[in-house]
Chains A and B, each alone.
Chain A
Amino acid sequence: MRGWLSVVAFIGVAAVVFAAGGDYLKFVAAYVMMWSLAVWGAQLLLRYGLVNFGIGGAYAVGGYAAGLLYRHFGIAEVTLHILTAVVAAGLWGLLSGVVSARVRGVQYALLNLALSMVLYSILLKFYWATGGSDGLYVPLPRFFDASLGDLGLYLLALFFATAWMTLGLVYSQSAAARLADGVRINELRVSALGAHINRQIAAASALASVSAGLGGLGVAYVTSHVSPHYAHWSTSGELVVAALLSIFLPRRWGFVAGAAAYQAVRLFSLQFVTPELFVGVALLATLGLWRYYRR
């Protein structure tokens, strides 16, 4: 398989971070690796030319899978959490993919934004089931009878990130990826060649949602908390921006690097009175640099 070296190199970097880094760096690394899955989902849809401002919906579904299972049934088992998150987020993605099959461009972005905001309002208003704006506590997961410690969580994050990097390699060499590029460049022509575009997009939407859902689950684990803000459109906006950042980079590891770059800027900006200003300037600088080098 082409590109396997980047997977090995990534595992090496993650191992060095764990061995040499302090507690905070390990926390950030785990957070970034989990979050990068959601970025992967946004990036997958961007490949079809679809800007999804509702990817946060799936991200929230994943996080709440763990939160609700623990709150209502006391389940902290990681395999059950993952299973539930995959099924629920997959269904959510399939639903939104089928529903938004007829629209493209701005309408697509807004339809998905509306879907995720419906989820947001439900999570916010039905506080007796979902904890309302406080969100839910997410415990450190257990794997059968053993509690996943910091190391376990880090390994889980590393496993997810490498698995998705590999999935990305497999995907980008598949027929589906060619079709995706075709859909982005000229949809009419691809459909004239015999492709079922809506089916492709629904499948991609389900895959992107599963990915974002697992990302949400992972971030909920790392931060021990899930809140309705996961489904808010500004979360989707962050994910889309990170995915756009990663478009500027090679596909193999772009999603992790884009996620890391965005989170690094965001975390660094928190020390200022106006973090937004710093993030905005950083984004503009990125755009400028990219323009300068890819003239």
Chain B
Amino acid sequence: MINALVAFYAFFLNLLAVSIGMAFIYGVARVLNLAHGAFFVLGGYLATALITRLGPVPGALATAAVLAALPPLFYLYVRLTRNELEQLFATYALLLLMEGLFKLVFGYGNYTLADLAAGLGAASVGGQRVPYAYFLAGVAVAGLMATFYLLLYKTRLGLYMRAVSDDREMAAALGVRSPLVQHLSIFLGIFATALLGAVAATWQAYTLGLSAEVLIYAFAALVIGGLGNIWGTAAASALVAVARTAVVMFYPELELLVIYIAVIAVLLIRPGGIFTRYARVA
């Protein structure tokens, strides 16, 4: 049982880490970023490479510094496109470019900080060894969620973000500078995703081809939760993680299948996602 809980927990954190940034980028800015998974993976690669080379603290700082340069670059890149089709085209090209660069720079190896994380020791929970790193990662993700909560519900910018997410034109008519808010949420989404990718390196191994896989998980959580709904996305991540963990425990052949079946079921029954207050399907 504890075993299943730990597996659930790790997958849930992973899913949440990937999808929360996407909820911002798609929800507020309506940018369908096919390269989203690549940013997550880039965070993991960079963190592993820099931390193993420079040591934990300087490595982490260097990673954060490099990752902070990403959002402006991505923003400039996306700004060049004018409509959704061009966006799709350009971000698909970006996905390929980033995968190519990963292969060139990082090669075929497995990149993970799990060894380093294992060095922190492990707690014994119900007879099962659970690494302290898992708790730390949980704290990091929870901290980020709390930051998002404070930002979204306690600041004016958050209010604007929610307004733009609900109805961009209406918000603009009421005096919100919609484009600025959208640009800021692109910044935030990309940075958070890459940063969480770096954190996830403590339990996940990064290899080539992961970007596309991770992207699909993020999409699934996003669609089930309702586009642009942060809490919905979090709840959907939990749901998907439960379903996947249960299937892996009892009938592992269907591991791949269950996530897609969940997506199909939700889209058929509530096309707007489970946790939307009102459904508005484009």
Residues of A within 8 A of B (CB): 46, 51, 99-100, 102-107, 110-111, 113-115, 117-118, 120-122, 124-125, 233-234, 237, 240-241, 244, 247, 273-281, 283-284, 287
Contacts and interface: CB of A to CB of B under 8 A. Distances in A.
A293 to B, nearest CB: 14
Contacts of A104: 281-282
Interface string B67-98: 00000000000000100011011101111110
B22 to A, nearest CB: 11
B interface majority secondary structure: helix
Given A120-B256, A283-B96, A287-B86, 9 more contacts: A100-B267, A104-B282, A110-B219, A118-B260, A118-B264, A124-B256, A233-B216, A234-B212, A281-B93
23 contacts: A51-B85, A104-B282, A107-B267, A107-B281, A110-B220, A110-B263, A111-B263, A111-B267, A111-B268, A113-B216, A113-B219, A114-B261, A114-B264, A125-B256, A237-B34, A240-B88, A273-B104, A275-B100, A276-B96, A277-B100, A277-B101, A277-B104, A280-B97
Q: Could you say which interface size class chain B belongs to?
A: 35 or more
B198 interface: no
Contacts of A276: 96-97, 99-100, 103
Contacts of B88: 51, 240, 244
The A interface, classified by DSSP as helix, strand, loop or mixed, is helix
B96 A279 contact: yes
A280 B228 CA distance: 28
A56 B32 CA distance: 20
Interface of B: 26, 32, 34, 81, 85-86, 88-90, 92-97, 99-101, 103-104, 212, 216, 219-220, 223, 227, 253-254, 256-257, 260-261, 263-264, 267-268, 271, 281-282
A282 B216 CA distance: 25
Contacts of A283: 89, 92-93, 96
